[in-house]
Amino acid sequence: MPVPALASPGAARGRSSPAPPLGRARCARSPRSATRRRRPRATASPRPRHHRSCTITGAAPGLREPGARDRTPGQAPRPAGARRSSSGRRRSVRFEPVDPRVSFPRLEERILERWRRDRVFERSLELRRGGPRWVFYEGPPTANGRPGLHHVEARTFKDAFPRFKTMTGHYVERKAGWDCHGLPVELEVEKEIGTRTKRDIEAFGVAEFNRRCRESVTRYVEDWERLTERIGFWIDLSQAYWTMSTEYVESVWWSLKHLHRQGLLYQDDRTVAYCPRCGTALSDHEVALGYATVVDPSVFVRFPVVEAPDPGLVGASLVAWTTTPWTLPSNLGLAVDPERSYARVRAEGGDLVLAEGLVRAVLGEGAEVVETFPGRRLVGARYRPPYENLDGDTHRVVGADFVSMEEGTGVVHIAPGFGAEDLELGRREGWPAYRPVDDAGRFTEDAPAAFLRGRPVKETDPDIIEDLRDRGLLLRAETYQHTYPLCWRCDTPLLYLARTSWFIRTTARKRRLLEVNEEVNWYPEHIKHGRYGDWLANNVDWALSRERYWGTPLPIWRCHAGHDAAVGSLRELSELAGRDVTGIDPHKPYIDEVTIRCPACGEEARRVPEVIDTWYDSGAMPYAQWGYHPELGRGVREFEERFPADFISEAIDQTRGWFYSLMAEAVLLFDSTAYRNVVCLGHIVDREGRKMSKSLGNVIDPWDVLDRHGADALRWFLLTNGSPWASRRVSQEVVEDVVRRFLLTLWNVYGFFVTYANAEGFDPAGPDVPPAERPPLDRWALSRLARTVAEVREGMERYDAAGAGRRIEELVDDLSNWYVRRARRRFWNPGGEGGRDTLAAFRTLHTCLVTVSQLLAPFTPFVAEEIWGNLAGPGAPDSVHLSDFPDPAAFAGLVDEGLEAAMAGARRIVELGRRVRTETRTKVRQPLPRAIVHHPDPAALEPLLDLVAEELNVKEVVFAERAEELGRWRAKPNYRALGPRLGPRVKEVARALEEDEGSLAAALARGEAVRVSTSGGDVRLEPADVDLVQEVRTGWGVASEGGVTVALDLEVTPELRLEGLARDLVRVVQDARKAAGLEVTDRIALGIEASGEVAEALRRHRAYVGRETLAAALTEGGLPDATHREEASVDGVPVRVSLRRA
């Protein structure tokens, strides 16, 4: 079958007849041993050995490619025009020469300019218009600071999958957006103007403050846009939505009015997490973003009983535990569990009462328990509080079911002003929410002790502890390490305060939220029912209001009678106000100046002062980005066509941020999920695993990485290095490793192809060799390609960029370290002898490179574009991003599982052979007489033995029937493993293994278990229970692994010795050619001065040396008119090389 999409009309027919420069050996039976033998390879023209990694300048004959002369690194290559091929025929250069010293950053800048000039992104959208719509939502960043490396991570994933889907025929619009409101913006402006409190802001002026906030969120947009373009993130920035725009705000107002009508938006007094620095309450999902490990005081306090239903308790003290001593001045009660057992314990200073099960933990093993009784006996008792605060029916013991018996004392200190359970219990008992703390987190004048007033509450903890100690009320004071919420923007410890706030009743839709979550594909999957699912299951009402300034104003107007009117638009507001306010800025303070007539009573109504949670803004983007407003007839069609999203992706902490707000609003407003697939991303950390921060000095500027290594390298690392949801350890070194390990490997294969394709005049539009008629190596490469296409497409469809990328990297490694390595000679075609064999090699590698460029397009869009643009040829789209992603069905006929398995076996043999050479310190260029191989499936390897022989640099390859023919195995007990298990019987096992004639050890070497008889019965031995050693024949080297054994005959005859020296000579000349700046096709006049064995090797293999180095004339001596001279050493013998162009 033709190679998909790349075969040309008029392909040659008939059987191919590959004719490698050396004769093909045939397999024959050896009469003197029970083996199958490869016929010895010809020795007159030994093939050169080459380094494993493919390099442009190191290829045989190892020279610079056409057009590379006199070029500085990174400079665009110049066209070489018409040149003569190695066979002397005049060829036209069809491909732009490839710079071996490529600068990827410069290449990328050139590609960016071309994309801009040719409108490639816009055309990619136009091309797919009318195709199935695939919806992507951009989580809006806040542009009040420069983008960091973590933003590159998210934007890379948000680019890769839309690129992929576009290439699979989908219409993928990508609308950018900017998040404009909220505390992050306000805090940055406060730093600029030097304010510290809300009072300072109001003195500064809310109008000017908000003006600066508006300016702040546009200040770095240009930086964001520049980075966005530089990393290749294709997104429409020209049509970006802004959450501060009037249409966006009105859309949010519409949603809040809708919720208000349903009774889902309400005001209530509740305990909220409150930031005293920012002066506002936070929602639960904001609280979840800021937990940290802190050390707080841990105090055990006496509460003396002064009155009780059981008079015997009077005089004893209840013991309560708290980590917030600053709440003790607000204590109004104590709670116990009526059904649990409590104990009265004898103690100095009076008896103590606490839960029986916690006595030892609190008081120690020696505590003397006087009596035990159920907690209900304590209910109704009255005590003297640590601080006298309120009169009335307070300071008594009540029963509660939330009292913990896992820590503390089983007696809970209740302050209704500072805890959700406390507030609920206080309401039940009729206690007020006593809270002598102001909005700045300071004690007010109502505090019951003078030393507290006017001070920040957390600051008073040490003084309260000392005061309790002085008055004999402190039983014990310690410290306690635990996690505690800090403000997610300013790191101030949050206070739990009872306050009046506005809430969205998300608990009313909890069941539906859980149902909708089941429809979403989470990556990783465990997030669905773990981190995110647990969050939904424990959902609480959304604390929506913020007592701040720069945000979407809460659209509730209230009259003095307490009637609330929810307003959905400026047009509706104009109607209620009796004047046109449609042109007003819908932010504070201007919107607050608009009064209306209350629709309920006709009295004047003013807007409530709060703004809303900025996370509600970002969660509104599916509809608000289009200005969605059914009452105004705006954005309805645009929204409905693009909801829900097929794909979103952000950092994993957004499970309780944007991911939640998107889903919550979609369920509340549209009874639907907001997205179908979500990829969670891990955090970026430094090389030590630490969070990057300016204080640690470990922040990496993304521009430093991009300027040094380029965007493709960074993108490849982020997309393929480990699980996306795991933390990424990033440094300049790991990105440099990507360049070296992957990009340069690919580039060198690409450069190798272009160099020889130009030298030989290969024309992609010319004749073809059908894949079925190509040599096994070509068919193997195409089979690997076909499998890669299928696996990459499947991986990308499953949002597994890492798995798909690793598969591409494996293919590139296969091409570099096996295909090009083994097929190299077929591309170098002196005399034009290769015919269809050479054509097949060019066709195969061309197909692989063009297809790889398409596979890489979503990952590394720049280098993919460069390769495609040079190789795809006439008739192909002018950008790889305008091409179709490779279709596995079109490649299915190329898959050959048997050949792939056989080639894997051949490569295993070669790997073991190399190991032998390394262990025996035998040079790679030194030919050896033979290799003997034991393999489970020798028949499958027969067609590949030429490859094995060439790669191992041996004259023949022989199959052994049994591995034991290559050396006897010996097994000894692993005493560390067997000693504890067998005790004295391990000696019997050792004796049995010592007497073994080899069968037991051989079985263990094959990975099998064996049984050995002992006085206590049979003992089963696994391979891990023994240490295996192979006894090798003298003069041989052996290596084994996974049931495959390779033995190399290490005897070097004088003839083989000279052949190896000749190969070393070729290497020296190739290095000299490279240093002289010669091109692949340049023929030379060559002089070699040597002595001894090296001179003899030159005489014996003169034709070989001349042919391999393109020497038109070879002199055994110096060349008088040489333009380049070089001295070297071959096996310790000095060698002088002189050369010039012929």
Q: Which residues contact 622 (CB under 8 A, 6 or more apart)?
A: 137, 639, 642, 643, 644, 645, 662, 665, 666, 674
- What's the whole-number mean pLDDT along residues 847-870? 97
The pLDDT-based confidence of 34 (bands split at 50, 70, 90) is very low
Question: In which residue are the tokens 């008055």 written?
Answer: 471
- Residue 269's pLDDT is 84
Q: In this structure, is residue 525 part of a structural domain?
A: no
Q: Which residues contact 566 (CB under 8 A, 6 or more apart)?
A: 256, 257, 260, 261, 265, 555, 556
- What's the whole-number mean pLDDT along residues 331-337? 95
- For the chain, the maximum distance between any two Cα atoms, rounded to a whole number of angstroms, is 123
Q: Regarding beta strands 556-559 and 545-546, do their DSSP bridges make them parallel or antiparallel, or are they unpaired?
A: unpaired
Judge if 316 and 463 occupy the same domain: yes
Q: Which of 596, 546, 547, 549 is nearest to 570 (CA)?
A: 596
Judge if 1007 and 1059 occupy the same domain: no
- Lowest pLDDT segment from 31-35, 91-95, 728-732: 31-35
Judge if 999 and 973 occupy the same domain: yes
The pLDDT-based confidence of 341 (bands split at 50, 70, 90) is very high
Judge if 224 and 331 occupy the same domain: no
654 is catalytic: yes
Beta bridge partners of residue 930, listed in sequence order: 956
- Per the model's pLDDT, the better-predicted residue between 499 and 695 turns out to be 499
How many structural domains are present in the chain?
Answer: 5
Question: With contact defined as beta carbons under 8 Å apart, do 417 and 497 qualify?
Answer: yes
The residue annotated as part of the active site, out of 654, 854, 926, 1030, is 654
Q: Which of 102, 62, 73, 96 is nearest to 1078 (CA)?
A: 62
140 is catalytic: yes
The residue annotated as part of the active site, out of 9, 694, 1054, 1120, is 694
Structure confidence by residue, pLDDT tens digits, 357-386: 999 999 988 889 999 999 999 999 999 999
- Residue 967's pLDDT is 65
CA distances from 15 to 1, 27, 168, 769, 841 (A): 14, 22, 36, 9, 15
The residue annotated as part of the active site, out of 21, 99, 178, 179, is 179
Q: What is the chain's Cα-based Rg?
A: 40
Q: In this structure, is residue 1045 part of a structural domain?
A: no
CATH number of the domain where residue 114 is located: 3.40.50
694 is catalytic: yes
d(CA 422, CA 403): 11
The pLDDT-based confidence of 831 (bands split at 50, 70, 90) is low
CA distances from 1011 to 357, 536, 1014 (A): 56, 56, 10
284 is catalytic: no
The residue annotated as part of the active site, out of 178, 321, 550, 658, is 658
Q: Is 0.85 surpassed by the pTM of this model? A: no
The pLDDT-based confidence of 48 (bands split at 50, 70, 90) is very low
The residue annotated as part of the active site, out of 326, 502, 615, 1036, is 615
The pLDDT-based confidence of 144 (bands split at 50, 70, 90) is confident
Judge if 348 and 401 occupy the same domain: yes
- Residue 308's pLDDT is 92
Q: Would you say residue 43 has pLDDT above 90?
A: no
- Residue 965's pLDDT is 59
CATH number of the domain where residue 360 is located: 3.90.740.10
d(CA 53, CA 812): 11
Q: Would you say residue 408 has pLDDT above 60?
A: yes
Q: In this structure, is residue 94 part of a structural domain?
A: no
The residue annotated as part of the active site, out of 18, 46, 61, 140, is 140
- Residue 971's pLDDT is 81
Main-chain dihedrals φ then ψ at residue 668, nearest 5 degrees:
-65, -35
Q: In this structure, is residue 427 part of a structural domain?
A: yes
d(CA 577, CA 66): 78
Q: Would you say residue 766 has pLDDT above 50?
A: yes
Judge if 453 and 596 occupy the same domain: no
Judge if 1027 and 1099 occupy the same domain: no
- Per the model's pLDDT, the better-predicted residue between 224 and 684 turns out to be 224
Judge if 136 and 229 occupy the same domain: yes
Question: With contact defined as beta carbons under 8 Å apart, do 542 and 284 qualify?
Answer: yes
Count CA within 13 A, CB hemisphere, residue 1086: 28
Q: Would you say residue 46 has pLDDT above 50?
A: no
E runs forming strands in 375-473: 382-383, 396-399, 412-414
Judge if 261 and 353 occupy the same domain: no
Judge if 275 and 348 occupy the same domain: no
Judge if 998 and 1080 occupy the same domain: no
DSSP characters over 683-751: -EE-TTSPBP-TTTT-PPPHHHHHHHH-HHHHHHHHHHSS-TTS-EE--HHHHHHHIIIIIHHHHHHHH
Q: In this structure, is residue 64 part of a structural domain?
A: no
Q: In this structure, is residue 656 part of a structural domain?
A: no
Domain span at residue 462 reads: 295-485
Beta bridge partners of residue 677, listed in sequence order: 521
254 is catalytic: no
How much is the mean pLDDT over the chain? 86
Structure confidence by residue, pLDDT tens digits, 120-137: 999 999 999 999 999 999
Q: In this structure, is residue 1127 part of a structural domain?
A: yes
Q: In this structure, is residue 238 part of a structural domain?
A: yes
The residue annotated as part of the active site, out of 132, 239, 691, 936, is 691
Judge if 236 and 346 occupy the same domain: no
d(CA 601, CA 565): 11
